[in-house]
Amino acid sequence: MVKSFVKGSCLRRAGAAALAGVMALGVLAVSVPQAEARDGRNGALAAGAAVGLAAGALLGAAAANSGPEYIAPPPAYYPPPPPYPHYGGPVYYAPPPVPRCYMSPIQRWDPYIGQYVVVGHQQMCN
């Protein structure tokens, strides 16, 4: 069974809240009219807008790319078991002797049915 774990879901919510706060401040800063724009202070406004736009782009990219982190399961490879203790080479046994004895049927003539009938067995040895 493959499991995936989500790390930092609380951090993701906090990042989304921070992004919403930055966007609200940006809307507020744009909607407030400038009280006095003389002596070349318009350059500071442009620099602040550029920094705010760049910071918003960075926070938006970070929030968009912060998906659930996948943790892969452990590998399916297990090391081989330790070798068995070695007590010497293989042991070979002589083949079993060929049986020299066998069972032979004992047959007798049965006049009632007119043929030979097996009435027992006897052991025959060479």
pLDDT digits (tens, 9 = 90+) for 48-92: 888 888 888 888 888 777 777 777 887 787 778 777 776 666 778
Q: How confident is the model at residue 3 (pLDDT cuts 50, 70, 90)?
A: very low
Rounded to two decimals, the pTM is 0.26
The per-residue pLDDT for 37 is 54
The per-residue pLDDT for 126 is 75
Question: In sequence order, which residues have a C-beta less than 8 Å from that of residue 122 and are 6 or more positions away?
Answer: 103, 104, 106
Q: Which residue has the higher pLDDT, 33 or 52?
A: 52
pLDDT greater than 90 at residue 105: yes
The per-residue pLDDT for 4 is 45
